Structure 1
């Protein structure tokens, strides 16, 4: 099934859309171009034989000290009992005023709304075109992103010591 999906993407989006295949994981992973993410997501959801109707998780990976992040999408087709993992790689200088960006897939899968907010809140990934991108676990005025490997714990918050 994985080869079929990969070949469908290559046929419909061109050879450059899949940057590489990672086959060393528990299940194969397609690393795709960021600029085609939303198109691919709609295609995988709406195409007969694919019908990836469920986004089970979005997470982000920090490759510190490199200026590199990856956003990982775990999707499933409930009718076809198939799972697929997609990755999008991001370069960023780690400046908190210039976050790594990736398009939102919340228009494709509604569950992405919360998963993207969590990745934004904890890892500092900015999801363009997200309908309500704001912190979900931390206060709105919190500085930094706690799951980044270069995050330094705050000593206090509004004068209250954090230990």
Structure 2
């Protein structure tokens, strides 16, 4: 039986041979894991081919990264696996603020909530998604809390009566620490008596 590392390389080579360098723009290998960078508009096509032709029958994760200061700013990352062999392959696509990524929820139903969460917390929309609503924040909330430029204490909103609309103070919170007030052992949140 071939090793999972050789299976991953074979799968990555197959994708590259099938789609070429116009679609698969980069290949990164680290500690036995392979990540392919896919052109944004071709993501759904590549994911469908991996499911139908390469045996990647499960979407394990779909998330995003904010690379504030870079262009394009965001990356959407997909982790696919072959359930029988346990082989994983990661795909990522780069997207700028205001651009949309094709939805893969029609290929893997589990992507539905993952894509909604990425939209809700990072502001990346997925074209063709059947229900692109916020999942954690309320409709009408104007910010995206996982972006790097979003302050830890939050921001006030213009939607009074719907939800908490003032910035949350961090002073005295169970996980807030104060620098220099005492040695680090007494600043550690678990040392607080509540």
- Higher RCO (CA 8 Å, separation ≥ 6 residues): 1
- Tell me the CA shift for residue 162 of structure 1: 4.1
- The 5 Å alignment of 1:33-52 reads 33-47=39-53, 50-52=54-56
- Structure 1 unaligned segments of length 5 or more: list them: 93-98
Deviation at 1:143, TM superposition (A): 1.1
Deviation at residue 118 of structure 1 after TM alignment: 0.2
The equivalent residue for 1:158 is 160
Unaligned runs of 5+ in 2: 1-6, 169-194
Task: Please state how far the C-alpha of 1:4 moved relative to its aligned partner.
Answer: 1.1
Residue 25 to residue 124, structure 1, CA distance change in 2 (3 Å): farther
Partner of 1:129: 128
Structure 1: 4+ residue segments shifted above 4 A:
none
1:91 aligns with 2:112: no
Distance (whole Å) between structure 1 residues aligned to residue 117 and residue 32 of structure 2: 24
Report the count of equivalent residues. 155
Shift of 1:56: 1.3
Distance 2:94 2:31 in 1: 17
SS of aligned partner of 1:130: coil
The aligned runs of 1:10-159 (5 Å cut-off) are 10-24=16-30, 27-47=33-53, 50-67=54-71, 68-92=73-97, 99-152=98-151, 153-156=154-157, 157-158=159-160
More strand per residue: 1 or 2?
A: 1
TM-score normalised per structure 2: 0.74
The TM-score, its normalising length taken from structure 1, stands at 0.87
* Aligned counterparts of 1:142 and 1:39: Cα–Cα separation in 2: 32
CA RMSD of aligned residues (A): 1.7
For each residue in 1:74-103, what CA deviation from the matched residue of structure 2 results, as whole angstroms up to 9, or x when unmatched? 1111023211111001133xxxxxx23110
**C-alpha offsets along residues 95-145 of structure 1, whole Å, 9 cap, x if unaligned?**
xxxx23110000110000000000000000010000000100010011110
Secondary structure (helix, strand or coil) at the match of 1:137 reads coil
Larger radius of gyration: 2
Distance 1:81 1:66 in 2: 34
Shift of 1:25: 5.9
